[in-house]
């Protein structure tokens, strides 16, 4: 299943105080951790390249952990369009699903912020369509895609806030980052853009 584009929220939800959760509820965690070592979530998110092949960074780690069957499964769906998301089995991963998203490259693509937002909304919509309740995602756009970490954090926070206003079954989104500086950036973005104090 491939999703491309943004679905408008259907209804507003009141933001709850004192933790990162909405009345839906959808809890958000920001952790320092390896995306392929999140066995307690149903799906992990791959920041994919266009050809959906083994690459470096997050994509490489996920493909290595999932085994050769993942790349073989992905090939009929390549190339993945900018802003699109594709769901596949997790194969050798402990997670049932992998959601592959193609963000824009901050330098090489036009309107990179717009396409990064498309990618995040597409990923969340794929999770919703497949009744996924828990997922872990990397800091999409950073790394090989060259987004400034502050900008990536703000876009992610705004997308999560908007998505949470609509109908969905997602209970947990875990953002896995590589170091303490990134953790603080994402927690600050959530606090500023969503209006919550993050512990």
Q: Is a pLDDT exceeding 60 seen at residue 110?
A: yes
Tens of pLDDT along 29-67? 999 999 999 999 999 999 999 999 877 788 999 999 999
- pLDDT category at 82 given cuts 50, 70, 90 is very high
Q: Is a pLDDT exceeding 80 seen at residue 12?
A: no
> In angstroms, rounded to a whole number, what is the distance separating the alpha carbons of residues 145 and 105?
4
Burial of 168 (0-12, 13-18, 19+ CB in 10 A): buried
Both structure tokens of 195: 């209006």
Residue 195: what pLDDT? 58
Residue 143: what pLDDT? 84
Q: Is a pLDDT exceeding 60 seen at residue 151?
A: yes
Domains of the chain: 21-194 (3.40.220.10)
CB 66 within 8 A of CB 59: no
Most confident of 9-13, 104-108, 172-176, 189-193: 172-176
> In angstroms, rounded to a whole number, what is the distance separating the alpha carbons of residues 133 and 137?
13
Residue 180: what pLDDT? 96
């Amino acid at each position: 299943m491939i999703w491309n584009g943004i679905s408008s929220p259907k209804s507003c939800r009141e933001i709850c105080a004192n933790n990162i959760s909405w009345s839906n509820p959808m809890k958000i965690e920001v952790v320092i951790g390896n995306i392929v070592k999140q066995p307690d979530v149903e799906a992990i998110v791959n920041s994919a390249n266009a050809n959906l092949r083994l690459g470096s960074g997050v994509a490489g780690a996920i493909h290595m952990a999932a085994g050769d069957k993942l790349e073989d499964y992905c090939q009929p769906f390549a190339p993945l369009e900018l802003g699109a998301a594709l769901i596949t089995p997790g194969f050798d991963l402990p997670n049932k699903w992998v959601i592959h998203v193609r963000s824009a490259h901050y330098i090489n693509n036009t309107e990179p912020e717009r396409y990064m937002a498309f990618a995040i909304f597409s990923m969340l919509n794929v999770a919703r369509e497949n009744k996924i309740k828990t997922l872990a995602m990397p800091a999409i756009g950073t790394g090989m895609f060259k987004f400034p970490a502050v900008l990536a954090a703000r876009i992610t926070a705004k997308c999560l806030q908007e998505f949470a206003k609509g109908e969905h079954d997602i209970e947990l989104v875990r953002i896995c980052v590589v170091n303490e500086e990134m953790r603080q950036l994402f927690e600050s973005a959530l606090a500023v853009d969503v209006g919550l104090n993050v512990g």
